Structure 1
Amino acid sequence: MGDGEIGRDAIAAVETVIRPYIRRTPVIEIEAADFGLGGHPIVLKLEVTQRAGSFKTRGAFANLLTRNVPSAGVVAASGGNHGAAVAFAANRLAKPAHIFVPEISSPAKIAKIRGYGADLVVGGARYADALQASEAFAAQSGALPVHAFDQRETLLGQGTLAFELEAQAPDLDTVLVGVGGGGLIGGIAAWYCGGVKVVGVEPEGSPTLTKALEAGKPVDAATEGIAADSLAPKRIGKLVYPIVRDHVASVVLVTDEAICAAQRALWEAARIVAEPGGVAATAALLSGRYRSRPGERIGVIVSGGNTTAVSFDR
C-alpha cells in the first residue's frame, strides 16, 4: 500500500484486511446524570477492550498486513501501548519484533510487551529518545519501522475505530478524542471528514496539537503530565497535521487533576478501568472544558487499559 489519500475508501479497505485480527469493541450508553451532567446519554466507545489493551492494535495490524515485513522483523518506538500492539501483532503473525520504550513507560505496558515475546529496550527519558534509538536500530538491522502515528497505514488502521463507531452510533453529533501524536484523531477525522464534529483533547502538560495549530505546522511542545507515557510525543505527526487542520473542529486542554477525576468517575459509574491517557476525552466532558450544546449527542473514545490501577494480588 503506497502513499495515497487517507480517506473513507482506504480505511474501509484496511478494515476488511485487519478484521480477523482485531475486536469490534463495544459501545455503551451512560446516562449523563450518572456523571452529574445533563443532556442526552453519553456514548462510550470502549477501546479499552481491544486486544493488547488499546486502539493501537488496529494500526499495528494494518502495518504488518499491508507492508512487506523483512526477515529482520519490525521495530517500533512507543510510550508503551503502541509497543504492546506491535509486539502482539508480530507475535500473532510470527514476525520478530523489536520495541523501544522510554523509562517513563508504565510497568503494566512493559510487562505486556515482554509477555508477547518482543525484544524490548527500555531507555531514555521520553518517547523522542526511544524513537531515535529505534531509528538507529532500523538503519543497522534492516527491520521495518512501524511508526506510532506518522505513518499512512497506522492512520488507516486507527480510522477503523470510526468505521465501527459510525455503524454502532450513527446519530452522534460530536466525538471527543484524546490526542498524543495524533494517529487516532487523524484516522477518526479522515473517516468522518466533517460529517461529525471531532474534538481533540490534550493534557495541559503535552499540548502537541494545540501548539501545532497555533504555529500553523507541527512544532515541538512540552512532554509532561500524568499521561506522558501515552499522550506526550514532542510534536504532532506531519501526515496527521493537515487532516486535523481541515477536519477537527477544536482542541481543548485538560488538567492532570481532571484526568484522575475521570478515571475515578468511569470506575464508579460503570466499573470501567482505563489508564490516564485513555480518559483524557472523558475528562474534557466531566470537567466542563468541553461544554455540550442542548440536544447534542456526544461520543467519547475510552482507550488504553494497560494500567496497574486494579490488582488481583492477594
Structure 2
Amino acid sequence: MTDTFITRERIAATETTIRPFVRRTPLLKADMADFGLAAGPLTFKLEFLQHSGSFKARGAFANLLLRKAPAAGVVAASGGNHGVAVACAAHRLQVPATIFVPDIASPAKQERIRGYGAKLVIAGSRYADALAASEAHIERTGAMPVHAYDQAETLLGQGSVGIELEQDAPDIDTLLVAVGGGGLIGGIAAWYGRRIRIVAVEPEAAPTLHDALAAGHPVDAPAGGIAADSLAPRQVGQLMFPIARANVDRVVLVTDEAIRQAQEKLWSTLRVVTEPGGAAAFAALLSGRYKPAAGERVAVLLCGANTTAVRFEG
C-alpha cells in the first residue's frame, strides 16, 4: 500500500475500530517557565499511559483487528516497545505471538513481553538483526508479520493519537514528536497535514529521518545512543517518508545527555517517568534545540515509559 492509503478518513475509521481496546490518554498542562524556559503554555500528551506502556498499542491493535492472523499467529521484530504492544494485543485477542528483539532491548521490555505470554527470541544486537530473524521465522511458519512502522495498519493506528490531540488540544501551534522508524509521526502527520507545525526529534546518534530527508529517500543511518532500543532502526519506513517530507516542518537532533536531562527534569518537576525515547521530544525543548516563538503554543508527546529507571523503596 502507498502513503495515499494513510488518509484522515481511514485513520478515523481505524480509531473507531481500536477504540474499545486502547486508552484515550490524558493531557497535562504546564508552563515552560516550570522548566526554566521562557514563559509560555506547554501541553504534554501522556501517551506513555497507553496499554503496554507506549503508543505502540494503537498500531498493534489496528493490525490484529484489521487483518486476519493465521493459525501460526503473529510475529514482530522490535527494539522493545512494539514487541510489548504486539504481545499485549495478541494476549487480549487470544492470538499466538512470537517477538524478536535485539540484545539491547531493555530488561523491562523483555519482562513485559514474556509477561503477556508471547514467545521472546533474542536475535542480534540491533533492530535490523531482529527484523531479519523475524523474516526467516515468517518464511518457516507462515505467521503474520506485524511491522513496527512500515505497515499501513500500523500508521493508521498511530494516527489516532492525532485525533485525540486535535480534539483535546485544538489550540496548539506546534507538536514535538520523537522519531524512530517513523510510524508515529507518519500517522500523526497524515492526520494533521500542515494544520499545525510538526517537529521531528531524533538522537544525534540515530538521525534516521534527518538523513533520509537530506538524501531525498530513506537511507541507512547510524543506530546508536541512549535510546537505541526505541529510536534507532536502520532506516525510516517507506510508507511514512512521503508523508513526513510533505508535512513535517523540520527535524531537530538532540544529544544523549539532553535526553538524560529531559528524563530527570520530567521526574523532578512533574514526577513523570519516561524511558529515553519517551523523553526525546521534550529534550529538544529543554536543551534549546527547538526554540518556540513568543506566544507559540507547544505540545510535547511523551510516548513511552517502559523502563526500570525508578525503583520504589521504603
Query: TM-score band, normalised by the shorter chain?
Result: over 0.9
In the TM superposition, residue 39 of structure 1 has moved relative to its aligned partner by 3.2
The aligned counterpart of 2:288 is 288
Shift of 1:313: 5.7
Aligned residue identity for 2:192: Y
Report Cα offsets for 1:88-111 as digits up to 9, x if no partner: 000000000000000000000000
Residue 135 (structure 1) aligns with: 135
Paired letter, 2:169: A
Q: 2:100 maps to what in 1?
A: 100
2:176 is aligned with 1:176? yes
Question: Equivalent residues in 2 for 1:235-250 (5 A)?
Answer: 235-250=235-250
1:139-182 Cα shifts (integer Å, max 9, x gaps): 11010000000000000000000110111100010000000000
- Listed one character per residue, the Cα deviations across residues 187-225 of structure 1 (whole Å, up to 9, x for unaligned) are 110000100110000000000000000100000000010
What is aligned with 1:253?
Answer: 253
- Distance change (3 Å), C-alpha of 1:188 and 1:3: closer
Identity, in percent, stands at 63
Aligned residue for 1:85? 85
Q: Distance in 2 between matches of 1:255 and 1:164?
A: 30
Structure 1 16/2 Cα, relative in aligned 2: closer, same or farther at 3 Å? farther
Looking at structure 2, the residues matched to 32 and 295 of structure 1 have their Cα atoms a distance apart, in angstroms, of: 11
3-state SS of paired residue (1:230) = helix
Q: What is the Cα-based RMSD across aligned positions, in Å?
A: 1.2
Give deviations 1:25-58, integer Å, cap 9, x for gaps. 0001111111011232210000110010000000
Deviates more, 1:144-153 or 1:4-13: 4-13
In the TM superposition, residue 312 of structure 1 has moved relative to its aligned partner by 2.9
Q: Residue 243 of structure 1: SS of its match in structure 2? A: helix
Residue of structure 2 equivalent to 1:156:
156
Does the C-alpha gap of structure 1 residues 93 and 3 become closer, same or farther in structure 2, counting only changes over 3 Å? farther
Within-5 A mapping of 1:203-282:
203-282=203-282
1:68, distance to aligned residue in structure 2 (A): 1.1
CA offset at residue 2 of structure 1?
9.8
Q: Displacement of 1:4 after TM fit?
A: 5.1
The residue type equivalent to 2:116 in the other structure is Y
**Does the CA contact (< 8 Å) of 2:2 and 2:239 recur in 1?**
no
- Mapping of 1:184-203 within 5 angstroms? 184-203=184-203
Contact 1:259 1:283 in 2 (8 A): yes
Q: CA–CA distance in 2 between the matches of 1:4 and 1:289? A: 32
Cross-structure match for 1:35: 35
1:121 equivalent in structure 2: 121
Tell me the CA shift for residue 310 of structure 1. 1.2
Q: Which amino acid aligns with 1:224?
A: G
- Secondary structure (helix, strand or coil) at the match of 1:59 reads helix
- What CA distance in whole angstroms lies between the structure 2 residues aligned with 1:132 and 1:294? 47
- Taking the aligned partners of 1:121 and 1:24, their CA distance within structure 2 comes to 31
SS in 1 for 2:228: coil
- CA deviations 1:250-305 (Å, max 9, x no partner) are 00100000000000110011100000000110000000000101110001000111
Match of 1:310 in 2: 310
Q: Which amino acid aligns with 1:226?
A: I
Contact 2:43 2:300 in 1 (8 A): yes
Give the TM-score normalised by the residue count of structure 1.
Answer: 0.98
**Alpha-carbon contact 2:3-2:240 (below 8 Å) kept:** no
Unaligned runs of 5+ in 2: none
Cα pair distance change 1:187/1:226, threshold 3 Å: same
3-state SS of paired residue (1:98): strand
Q: Does the residue aligned with 1:310 lie in a helix, a strand or coil? A: coil
Unpaired segments of 5 or more residues in structure 1? none
Distance in 2, matches of 1:9 and 1:41, equals: 31
**Separation in 1, partners of 2:140, 2:312:** 42
Q: What is the CA–CA distance in structure 2 between the aligned matches of 1:2 and 1:119, rounded to whole Å?
A: 31
Alpha carbons 1:39, 1:296 under 8 Å: kept: no
SS, match of residue 249 in structure 1? strand
Q: Distance in 2 between matches of 1:230 and 1:26?
A: 22
Q: After TM superposition, which residue ranges in structure 1, 4 or more long, deviate above 3 angstroms?
A: 1-4
Q: Distance in 2 between matches of 1:73 and 1:5?
A: 25
Secondary structure of the corresponding residue to residue 159 of structure 2? helix
In structure 2, distance between residues paired with 1:16 and 1:115 = 28
Q: Which residue is equivalent to 1:52?
A: 52
TM-superposed CA distance for 1:12, in Å, is 0.5
Note the C-alpha offset of 1:311: 1.5
Q: 1:67 to 1:4 in 2, by over 3 A?
A: farther
Contact 2:201 2:284 in 1 (8 A): yes
Instruction: Indicate the SS of the match to 1:124.
Output: coil
Match of 1:111 in 2: 111
Given that 2:75 and 2:97 are in contact with CA atoms closer than 8 Å, whether structure 1 keeps it comes out as yes
